[in-house]
């Protein structure tokens, strides 16, 4: 028997983290959980430590770490408790870890992703914001560290599954990448009424159960904008080779169109355990726990153009992806920072739903990036953009 894959799950208490542990638990002979990290949910982390017996666990604050350490001791569990952010980088690059599941939300996951990339890990990337912010710096770390970067985002997993195995052949064969988008909860809503929607309505996604930030991003379609940027970096295509089509059923997870017009797609039920299992086992295939598609029960697959039916007005943020990709290096990091600030402000009821785009637009117009080429420069740019976005939030009328 070959050695078990030793896995660290960064963001283990979140939606992707929990789904990852669900798949891992189905294959105890293949995987060993050696480290788990979370921000604040101590009791969820305690239960995961009891179940998976990791050597190390990380919480975001000293208070949460102390509480976890006390509860682990009371339960006779030997897991060592550490504190983010330093412990995240140390785990991501530890010689005791083979595979890092990057499932933290937002730019907070960039430093551990870079650490895993430089240490040559198998890096399973759910944390799309890290690649959007890191861009070429991230890719360079992957190359120089000899890491294996595998997409977990369902669209990018679908594209990866639809591409030839040898990346050296992609450029000559691929015409375009077609990302599907469900359209989120407001696909048929009158754009003028979007100013009234609440955080609860925005987080109620029709097809997927996810964390709150990505749920809001799905409602604005900023999630798809981030995914366009993610696809550009993962697959090395030009921005104009990436297209988005609305597909409300979320059965086709994305597609690759080849030079001869042939299209290869990946289909399945909307269950994140499928791309997670693929990333964990690649190039092999293992049971994911997901229900198989029942083609006899499918009501049909439909598609809507972004240019039709008021969608440009409904999802003004989508076009920012191509704008940011064509602008100065670092612009994608500015867009991501603005969007993180805007979404948090919307969830805190400080701005309206339609003002998320105003904040993103204002921040892009105000912040000129200076070609960031190190982690420190990226984090400084991220902070500068957040400061500017916060001003834009305060300038929003109620
Ligand atoms: P979530 O909010 O459910 O979980 C986030 C996790 O990260 C939690 O464990 C939380 O404790 C941890 N975390 C948050 N902020 C942190 C910080 N500052 N420092 C350390 N840890 C922190 O989010 P999610 O839905 O699981 O999404 C995680 C990532 O995966 C996001 O980047 C999202 O875009 C991506 N993703 C999610 C889905 C999905 O179905 N949920 C699908 C595709 C991609
Ligand atoms: Mg996705």
pLDDT of residue 398: 78
Binding-site residues sit at 13-16, 39, 127-129, 153-155, 182, 205, 211, 218, 223-224, 227
Pocket test for ligand 1, best of 14, 209, 270 (most atoms within 8 A of CB): 14
What mean pLDDT is predicted for residues 37-45? 98
Tell me the binding residues for NADPH. Answer: 13-16, 39, 127, 129, 211
pLDDT of residue 140: 98
- How far, in Å, from the CA of 192 to the mean position of ligand 1? 31
pLDDT at 23: 99
Which atom of ligand 1 has the smallest separation from the CA of 210?
41
Angle at which helices 222-235 and 331-347 cross, to 10°: 150
Considering every ligand atom, which ligand is closest to the CA of 275? 1
Q: Closest ligand 1 atom to the C-alpha of 126?
A: 30
What is the distance between the alpha carbons of residues 296 and 205, in angstroms, rounded to a whole number?
25
Quick one: which atom of ligand 1 is closest to the CA of 209? 40
65 lines ligand 1 (CB under 6 A): no
Q: Is 40 helix (H, G, I), strand (E, B) or coil?
A: coil
Shortest-distance atom of ligand 1 to CA 88 = 20
Express as a percent the part of the chain with pLDDT over 70.
100
Q: Is the CB of 208 under 6 A from ligand 1?
A: yes
Write the pLDDT tens digit of every residue in 374-392: 999 999 999 999 999 999 9
**What radius of gyration, in Å, describes the C-alpha atoms of the chain?**
21
Q: Would the CB of 16 count as within 6 Å of ligand 1? A: yes
In angstroms, the CA 32 to CA 350 distance is 43
* Whether residue 11 has its Cβ less than 6 Å from ligand 1: yes
**Could you tell me the distance, in angstroms and rounded to a whole number, from the CA of residue 46 to the centre of ligand 1?**
18
Nearest 5°: CA angle at 17, between 293 and 163?
Answer: 50
pTM score of the predicted model: 0.98
Q: What is the 3-state secondary structure (H, E, C) of 271-334?
A: CCHHHHHHHHHCCCCCCCCCCCCCCCCCCCCCCECCCCCCHHHHCCCCCHHHHHHHCCCCHHHH
The tens digit of pLDDT for each residue in 347-369 reads: 999 999 999 999 999 999 999 99
Mean pLDDT of the chain: 97
- Distance (angstroms) between ligand 1 centre and the Cα of 137 equals 22
Q: What is the pLDDT of residue 1?
A: 54
pLDDT in tens, 71-113: 999 999 999 999 999 999 999 999 999 999 999 999 999 999 9
Instruction: Report the DSSP pairing between strands 99-102 and 80-83.
Output: unpaired
Question: Which single residue is written with the structure tokens 């560290």?
Answer: 145
- Beta strands of 115-273 (E only): which ranges? 122-125, 148-151, 174-181, 242-246, 252-258, 263-267
CB contact at 8 A, 43 and 37: no
With the most atoms of ligand 1 within 8 angstroms of its CB, the residue from 40, 42, 180, 214 to mutate is 214
Q: H or E element: which one contains 102?
A: strand 99-102
Atom of ligand 1 nearest to the CA of 40: 11
Report how far ligand 1's centroid is from the alpha carbon of 211 (Å). Answer: 6
Q: What angle do CA 184, 190, 192 make, to 5 degrees?
A: 115
216 Cβ below 6 A of ligand 1:
no
Q: Write out the two tokens for 104.
A: 């933290």
Residue nearest to atom 43 of ligand 1 (CA): 153
């Amino acid at each position: 028997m070959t050695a078990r894959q030793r896995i660290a799950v960064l963001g283990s208490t979140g939606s992707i983290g929990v789904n990852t542990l669900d798949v891992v638990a189905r294959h105890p002979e293949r995987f060993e959980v050696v480290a788990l990290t979370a921000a604040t949910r101590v009791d969820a982390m305690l239960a995961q430590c009891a179940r998976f017996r990791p050597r190390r666990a990380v919480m975001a604050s000293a208070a949460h770490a102390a509480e976890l350490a006390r509860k682990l001791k009371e339960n006779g569990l030997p897991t060592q408790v550490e504190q983010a952010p330093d412990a995240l980088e140390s785990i991501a690059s530890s010689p005791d870890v083979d595979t890092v599941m990057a499932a933290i939300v937002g730019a907070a996951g960039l430093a551990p992703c870079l650490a895993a990339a430089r240490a040559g890990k198998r890096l399973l990337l759910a944390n799309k914001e890290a690649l959007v912010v890191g861009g070429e710096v991230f890719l360079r770390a992957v190359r120089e560290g000899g890491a294996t970067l595998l997409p977990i985002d369902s669209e990018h997993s679908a594209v990866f599954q639809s591409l030839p195995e040898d990346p050296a052949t992609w450029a000559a064969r691929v015409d375009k990448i077609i990302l599907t988008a469900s359209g989120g909860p407001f696909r048929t809503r009158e754009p003028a009424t979007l100013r009234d929607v609440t955080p609860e309505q925005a987080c109620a996604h029709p097809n997927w159960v996810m964390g709150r930030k990505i749920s809001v991003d799905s409602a604005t379609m900023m999630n798809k904008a981030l995914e366009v940027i993610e696809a550009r970096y993962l697959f090395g295509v030009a921005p104009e080779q990436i297209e988005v089509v609305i597909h409300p059923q979320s059965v086709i997870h994305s597609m690759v169109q080849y030079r001869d017009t042939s299209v290869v797609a990946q289909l399945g039920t909307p269950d994140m355990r499928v791309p997670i299992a693929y990333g964990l086992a690649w190039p092999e295939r293992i049971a994911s726990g997901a229900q198989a598609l029942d083609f006899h029960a499918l009501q049909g697959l439909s598609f809507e153009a972004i240019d039709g039916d008021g969608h440009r007005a409904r999802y003004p943020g989508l076009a920012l992806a191509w704008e940011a990709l064509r602008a100065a290096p670092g612009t994608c990091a500015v867009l991501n920072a603005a969007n993180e600030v805007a979404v948090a402000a919307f969830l805190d009821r400080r701005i309206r739903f339609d003002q998320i785009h105003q904040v993103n637009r204002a921040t892009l117009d105000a912040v000129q990036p200076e070609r960031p080429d190190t982690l420190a420069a990226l984090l400084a740019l991220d902070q500068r953009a957040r400061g500017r976005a916060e001003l834009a939030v305060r300038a929003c009328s109620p």
